[in-house]
Structure 1
Amino acid sequence: MKVLLTTLNSKYIHSSLALRYLYSFNQEAFPGIITLQEYTINHNPDYVLAEIFKGNYTILCFSCYIWNIEATLEIVKNLKKIKPEVTIILGGPEVSFEAEKLMKQHPTVDYIVTGEGEITFQELLLYLIHKKGKIEDMYGILYRQGNHIQQNQERELIKNLDQIPSPYDEKLDGLENRILYYESSRGCPYNCSYCLSSTIKGVRFFSLERVKRDLDIFLRAKVKQVKFVDRTFNAKKSHCLEIMKYLHKRDNGYTNFHFEITADLLDDEILDFLSQIREGLFQFEVGVQTTYEKTMQSIDRRVNFSKLEKAVRKISTFKNIHLHLDLIAGLPYEDLARFRISFDEVYDLKPEKLQLGFLKLLKGSAIRGEKETHGYVFKDESPYEILENKYIRYRELLRLKMIEEMVEIYHNSHGFDGAISFVMANFYKSSYDFYHGLSEFWERKGYHHSAHHKNEQYRILIDFYEEESFPHKRLFLEILKLDYLKQGKGSLPDFFPVVEIKDFKDRCHAFLQSQENISQYLEGFEGMPAKQIIKQVHFETFAYDVVEILKSSKIEDLSEKVTTVLFNYELKQKVFTKSKFYKVEI
């Protein structure tokens, strides 16, 4: 008997926490029998098919999600054609709802494990491998009985989560250069109707002792990033604060920990603690989704936006935690005009990343059951994204799709911060208006038909500025040039103006030969010869004092003032910026 646990991750850098739970939970009962192998949706299905076939497995188990279900079912269908004797087991959120319908449509699927799968999967393997137990007495499973599909009673949730062995060991084999996923709790205190977490009532916690043992593995290994998948990490203050304090105390100076939090629950004690941590230790994702009270009530989402706003602004002042804020387009009662308000209010919080998503009517979600009430039209194929509803039409969602692309390129990359702040401060009433105008230009010029490299993105923004006939183009180009040079050392594209200074290179070398200058601007370069330092920094001259202008972004003084800026790219932390820059006299 050979058992394969597998899935198709959405990207190579991702890893499957679910499979590792199943693997660790069953190692003692089935030593040497189970293999864990991960693929991605970017793999050719024929490659995955061939690799699984060559493994000569008896039982194949696939973890199914909205991003991989179609590809998984294709592989399963073809595996049964070439190896009809193999047993196919599916599990995961995408097959836990409407499971009987799926089995009717796909006769190659032998079993489906629904809901929390650790115990159910073990009982099923005991039945299939050792002939122990009765299939009809097994909770949380669907199976075939002749031409009939039998769905057994749901299994109760595991009360003591610590009985599940840790999904990770000290070796972390196969996880090099990947994001590690981890959870310290299961469930969510909220009942948001669009989310599958609302189908499970209550929150269960792993013990703090267990969590700390697991975290020590990551800290000792100096993994790059650990993403907590707790639906609301700070649902229980004592639990979340103890974990964060532990990570602060044991900080290895390298690993980043990502948490999904509800910002309106952060009180002064937590905020005071967060102000003390290392830059880059934590990363927060805050699901705002909407700022419209009527919409929040309709989706049963209890968030105090005023408190959320206050907490987010406070954290932003610390300059040590990367903030991701999420919005969802297509929620009930939020038409395009009202969504614009939500966009402006969230953008005004200045998150490091603004993620604009589109509502998906997931199987099992409460909002899917309300599709008639709100007139939802959505795709039959996963991920079941909406096409329109009573409040927002397909054409309007297409505009938001284009705005999403502009936000991703021009905000989330942070390669254009100064220039965009300058444009919005002087020529637009709102952030939404700017991105709407840019998206229309982008589409009108046909830029949406293909991808564009970095330099092209800068050139397109210049073209947009010119087409809108905004004044003070030279000043704008100088600000954009600063943005470009902040991203890294390299030669300037020819569409940026160059300000010539006599004997510029000699002046730069002379500046770097002064230890007083090095001590003031380039910490860590002390004692290094100037010819070596110049390889790691950059000097650039501007026609305006762009450093001063960016402090307000408003056009107040248009007089030219030749200014030299020194860029330092050798930073210990690059969470918020890829360089530091200073006005210098050369």
Structure 2
Amino acid sequence: MVSIHIDRGSRAVPLGAASVAALVHARHGDRVKPIILDCFLDQDIAFCVAAIKELRPDILAFSIYLWNRRKSIEIARQIKKELPDLPIFAGGPEVTADWHRLGETYPGCFDLFLPGEGEGSILQGLDMLLAGRPSTSVLFPQSVDLTVLPSPYLDGMLDPAAYTGLLWELSRGCPFRCHFCFESKGSEQVRYFSMERITRELELFARSGVRELFILDPTFNHNRTRAKKLLRLMQEVAPDIHYNIEVRSEFLDQELAELFSCLSCSLQIGLQSADPKVLRNINRSIKQDDFRRKVLFLHEAEVVYGFDLIYGLPGDSLEGFLASIDFAFSMVPNHIDIFPLAVLPGTVLFDNADSFGLVRDSDDPYLVRSSSGFHSEDMAVASRIASAIDLFYNQGNAVPWFDIIIERLGITPSRFFLDFSLWLEGRISDEPDQAMSEVQQIYLLKLFIDRGLQAEGEIVHDIIEIFALWDRIDEAASGNVSELSGFFYFSPSQLFEYLEEGVRDLGELAFFLPRLEKTILVSSSEGVLLFQE
């Protein structure tokens, strides 16, 4: 069972294949031995083919996703050339959405397609194969009862200690029908794994020293009662794990926010757009005041949260996209992830794309290139802004101070990032690996100087320096950095005190703070910066 991952990061866990493998082992363990082979996008086709052949499989199966579709096909094609009699199965989201076209476009690569939940058809496929050759090219899944599925973690198919992070399923299905999503044509029923299984898995994760979990449920808090029960379980059994969770704003309340605040967690909220008319085109909705009010619960409870935005949505425009950016930043998120619209096969949007005038790729990654209201030039601008936000705000950890500079400059976040993207595009640097904090300082100091606000720009420089050094405290504590130093225009210790007291006026800070203009050593004690002025 081949799983091809994007990279070797903390999400490179073959959970889908392992879940199917666990069922095969439970039902056919005496006759079939499932083996999972992890491959990666940066590996050569020849390397992957050799790794497969070394295992001498009797059956080969691929989990095909958007990101590994092409590589899976290339590997399967080469395997068929070298081992023409080896039966090859194909499952996963790409097969569920587009198995018919896969079979027509790449004939001879795959012997059997298993769309839908692999656990619902894999046993029948194996039975057919063990009795001879498959008599069909596709098997549609039977209903899968999650309460009786074996856990790939509990049965040893996946060793939690072998991964830096884990994917974790608590349920399957989605009650919503967002037209851009694979779930748009699926079942509205949300099915749950048993609390007994979830508890045992969480206990295993805690014993194994797991540090991070990515919960795969598309809407963790849809069932608020169950969500609260799960959060209490996480706090009781595994409070040291960091949890990544997707939630919907509609189902947030103060009690949930308080429970989230008791955990180390990061929440992701799919905003997509702030325009109700645009959202109606993809079967979503928003009440902006209610959205702000619910997110405020998280903000007041000091929970880490971020938003997803999509540009190129049907009915949207560059102007509308910029307004969505400003709406998102008004709630001070910890990060904003922005993507171009992908019109995926198997979705309602794929069926209706022509009616919206969406010009898009005919093959993966299926990205929209333009629409009637979002021209190709505007898509390019949106792409630059998305990259600028990721670099400056997300990777640059700008959340603690970004609203201070925006307020003083008197411009919108979207205008700021548009200007920054243009500056970045035309910038020639002698230091290609320059830290983002240095890039931020150079750009902002220039911006303030151009406005006749040099002293305030120097304050901004020092604020960024403080937080950049703070971000390195963990490295220093682990012994990777023996000594920290930074250049400051003003006294950093007094600046830090003012910031902690809530002073945000850059002019006031520049007036009262004593000038320093030198490089000083900085150490840390129990997570606190100590400035040796």
Shorter chain as denominator, the TM-score bin is 0.7 to 0.9
Letter in 2 for 1:10: I
Q: Distance in 1 between matches of 2:399 and 2:36?
A: 43
Q: Does 1:554 align with 2:484?
A: no
Q: Is the 8 A contact 2:202 2:237 kept in 1?
A: no
Q: Does residue 169 in structure 1 map to residue 154 in structure 2?
A: yes
Task: Flag the structure with larger Rg.
Answer: 1
Please give the secondary structure, in 2, of the residue aligned with 1:308: helix
Matched residue, 2:293: 310
Q: Deviations over 1:144-185 (max 9, x none)?
A: xxxxxxx56x43432x31111012137643753432111111
Q: Distance in 2 between matches of 1:215 and 1:305?
A: 36
**Offset, 1:482:** 3.7
Structure 1 CA distance, aligned partners of 2:105 and 2:394?
41
Q: Kindly indicate whether the alpha-carbon contact (under 8 Å) linking 1:419 and 1:476 is maintained by their aligned counterparts in 2.
A: no
SS of structure 2 residue aligned to 1:50: helix
Residues 384-463 of structure 1: matches in 2 within 5 Å? 384-417=366-399, 420-445=402-427, 452-455=432-435, 458-459=438-439, 461-463=441-443
Residue equivalent to 2:57: 57
Q: Does 1:206 align with 2:193?
A: yes
Change (3 A) 1:23 1:307: same
SS of 2:180's partner is: coil
SS of the residue corresponding to residue 372 of structure 1 reads helix
- Give structure 1 stretches of 5+ with no counterpart: 137-141, 144-150, 492-524, 526-531, 572-578
AA matched with 1:458: E
Q: May I ask how many residue pairs the two structures share in their alignment?
A: 511
**How far 1:34 moved relative to its partner?**
1.5
**2:444–2:457 Cα contact (<8 Å) kept:** no
Q: Which amino acid aligns with 1:455?
A: A
Residue 543 of structure 1: which of 487, 490, 494 is its match?
A: 490
Q: Which amino acid aligns with 1:462?
A: I
Amino acid at match of 2:320: R
User: Does the 8 Å CA contact 2:22/2:151 hold for their aligned counterparts?
Assistant: yes
Distance 1:463 1:302 in 2: 37
Q: What is the DSSP-based 3-state SS (H/G/I as helix, E as strand, rest coil) of the residue aligned with 2:356?
A: coil
**Residue 267 of structure 2 contacts residue 306 of structure 2 at CA under 8 Å; is this kept in 1?**
yes
Is residue 2:6 matched to residue 1:10? Answer: yes
Q: After TM superposition, give the deviation of residue 539 of structure 1 in Å.
A: 8.5
The equivalent position to 1:228 in structure 2, one of 210, 215, 238, is 215
Post-superposition CA distance 1:178-225 (Å, at most 9, x none) = 321111111111110001112212211112222112111112212111
Structure 2 counterpart of 1:15, which letter? V
Counterparts of 1:484 and 1:40, CA distance in 2: 37
Q: Name the CA distance, whole Å, in 2 between partners of 1:306 and 1:376.
A: 31
Which residue of the partner structure matches residue 267 of structure 2?
284
Q: After TM superposition, give the deviation of residue 130 of structure 1 in Å.
A: 4.5
Of 206, 221, 227, the residue aligned with 1:240 is 227
State which drifts further: 470-479 or 407-416. 470-479
Whole-angstrom CA distance in 2 between matches of 1:67 and 1:567:
44
Partner of 1:89: 89
Partner of 1:112: 113
- RMSD of aligned Cα (Å): 3.0
Matched residue of 1:411: which SS?
helix
Q: Which secondary structure state, in structure 2, belongs to the residue aligned with residue 392 of structure 1?
A: coil
Deviation of 1:252 after TM superposition, in Å, equals: 4.1
Q: Which amino acid aligns with 1:91?
A: G
- TM-score, length-normalised on structure 1? 0.80
- Unaligned 5+ segments in structure 2 are none
Cα 1:580–1:333, aligned 2, differ >3 Å: closer, same or farther?
Answer: farther
Task: Name 2:178's counterpart in structure 1.
Answer: 192
The structural deviation recorded for 1:456 is 6.4
* Distance in 1 between residues matched to 2:15 and 2:215, nearest whole Å: 10
TM-score after normalising by structure 2: 0.87
Following the alignment from structure 2 to structure 1, what is the Cα–Cα distance between the partners of residues 457 and 79? 59
Which amino acid in structure 2 is aligned with residue 284 of structure 1? L
Distance 1:486 1:456, change over 3 A: closer
Aligned residue in 2 for 1:322: 304
Name the aligned partner's letter for residue 453 of structure 1: D
Per mean C-alpha deviation after superposition, the further-off stretch among 407-416 and 191-200 is 407-416
Counterpart CA distance in 2 for 1:541 and 1:287 is 39
Distance in structure 1 (CA, Å) of the matches to 2:402 and 2:93: 40
Q: Contact 1:8–1:41 at 8 Å: present in 2 too?
A: yes
Identical residues among aligned pairs (%)? 19
Residue 419 of structure 1 and its aligned partner are, at CA, apart by 6.2
Q: Contact 2:60/2:88 (CA < 8 Å) preserved in 1?
A: yes
CA distance in 1 between counterparts of 2:272 and 2:49 reads 39
2:444 and 2:461 in contact (8 A); partners too? no
Distance 2:134 2:444 in 1: 65
Give 3-state SS (helix, strand or coil) of 1:67's partner: helix
Shift in CA distance, 53/451, structure 1 to aligned 2, threshold 3 Å: farther
* Contact 2:444–2:460, Cα closer than 8 Å, also in 1: no
The one-letter code matched in structure 1 to 2:451 is F
By percentage of residues, which structure has more helix?
Answer: 2
Residue 3 of structure 2 contacts residue 36 of structure 2 at CA under 8 Å; is this kept in 1?
A: no
1:257 counterpart SS class: strand
For the 8 Å contact 1:182–1:228, the answer to whether it is kept is yes
1: CA distance between counterparts of 2:66 and 2:179? 17
CA contact (8 A) 1:425 1:554 kept: no
Partner of 1:466: 446
- C-alpha distance in structure 2 between counterparts of 1:98 and 1:57, whole Å: 26
Distance 1:71 1:478, change over 3 A: same
Match of 2:27, SS state, is coil
Contact 1:540 1:566 in 2 (8 A): no
The question of whether the paired residues in 2 share the 8 Å contact of 1:415 and 1:484 is answered with no
What is the letter of the counterpart of residue 21 of structure 1? S
1:536 and 1:569 in contact (8 A); partners too: no
Aligned amino acid, residue 4 of structure 2: L
Q: Which residue of 2 aligns with 1:98?
A: 98
Given candidates 258, 263, 267, the residue that maps to 2:249 is 263
Distance 1:555 1:561, change over 3 A: closer
In the alignment, residue 22 of structure 2 is paired with which amino acid? S
Query: CA, structure 1 residues 173+206, in 2 after alignment: closer, same or farther (shift >3 Å)?
Result: closer
Deviation sequence 1:321-341 (CA, Å, 0-9, x none): 321211111112121111111
Report the 3-state secondary structure (helix = DSSP H, G, I; strand = E; otherwise coil) of the residue aligned with 2:506.
Answer: coil
Alignment pair present for 1:46 and 2:50: no
